[in-house]
Amino acid sequence: MSRAFVFPGQGAQTIGMGRALAEVYPSAKAVFDEVDEALGERLSVLIWEGDIAELTLTQNAQPALMATSIAALRALEAEGITVSSHAGFVAGHSLGEYSALCAAGSLSLSDTARLLRIRGRAMQEAVPVGVGAMAALLGLDFEAAVAVAAEASQGEVCQAANDNDPAQVVVSGHRAAVERAVEIAKAKGAKRALLLPVSAPFHCALMQPAARVMAEALAAVVVEKPVVPVVVNVRAEAVTEPDRIRDLLVAQVTGSVRWRESVLWMEGAGVTEFWEIGAGKALSGMIKRIVSGDVSLRAVGTPEDVQAARG
């Protein structure tokens, strides 16, 4: 199968996402109902009618984006488009990897929602507010960004956290080190280098306390073999073994999101179509900048998108 379903990460959230899907497709509405029940609260009300600042809180954004992605997938399924018959691989960016695993039947929806609530809280609480930071370095490739982070560390943590596309790498770590990285990157010819409005330094060694929390949480849930291989962030290759999936989800908390390499791996495995399932089109933009050949890109986040995909 030459198609991959990919699932977005944090930053794609908007008030109202998924609501039209829930209004048109009962199976999409059932996703939000099940997530509400799993979390013991009406997260759907926050998603559809709440305040964007509250939705953007990591502990809310993570399960909310997953719910929107799975709702879009259920709408596709209602039209006869399934992961097992229409995708060769699934993958997701950071928290999107959980959406991908849920989509492929490796994690149940309720467990995925609870895991992402735990993950969001643990990542937020791992580092006191103000101690860490993240910055986007634009116009530098991954190797250059790694060199910048190493130079900026000076005994503190500064790591390449997200390898998003050939000209966008995010670094993460102690605030002072990340601020140094911004200045070093500018001096080395970065088109732009700027601090990101995030509440914690994700995907770096400072997240080790959160990794311990996730190891315990993941040990308590059932991980099934996915119906199609999952291309995982920290390895940039396909994985199907449940125990390895569990271990790599723990490693993902402190490890780099190797999205550029993951997309290249899928292209090398014969993928020529990428369907972004859920909120926004950020991954589609990255993929367009990553792949060397002609690929087809489709975003599926509204009933109209679902109908077009069926067509």
Residues annotated catalytic, as ranges: 94, 203
Closest CA relative to residue 100, chosen from 205, 291, 292, 252: 252
What is the Cα–Cα distance from 131 to 198, expressed in whole angstroms? 12
Closest CA relative to residue 171, chosen from 194, 139, 191: 194
Question: Which pair of tokens denotes residue 1?
Answer: 């199968």
Closest CA relative to residue 72, chosen from 292, 287, 281: 281
The H or E element spanning position 296 is: strand 296-300
CA distances 40 to 35, 103, 114, Å, are 8, 22, 10
* Residue 13 CB partners (closer than 8 Å, separation 6+): 52, 55, 56, 61, 64, 65, 279
Output the CA torsion 168→174→178→181 (10° steps). Answer: -110
Taking the CB of residue 292, how many other CB atoms lie within 10 A of it? 7
User: What's the order of all strands across the beta sheet hosting 158-165?
Assistant: 158-165, 168-174, 132-138, 192-195
Could you tell me if 171 and 137 are in contact, meaning their C-beta atoms sit under 8 angstroms apart? yes
Q: Which amino acid is at 265?
A: W
Could you tell me if 72 and 301 are in contact, meaning their C-beta atoms sit under 8 angstroms apart? yes
Give me the long-range contacts of 77-81 (CB less than 8 A, separation at least 24): 77/27, 78/25, 78/27, 78/28, 79/306, 79/307, 79/309, 79/310, 80/310, 81/309, 81/310
Taking the CB of residue 52, how many other CB atoms lie within 10 A of it? 11
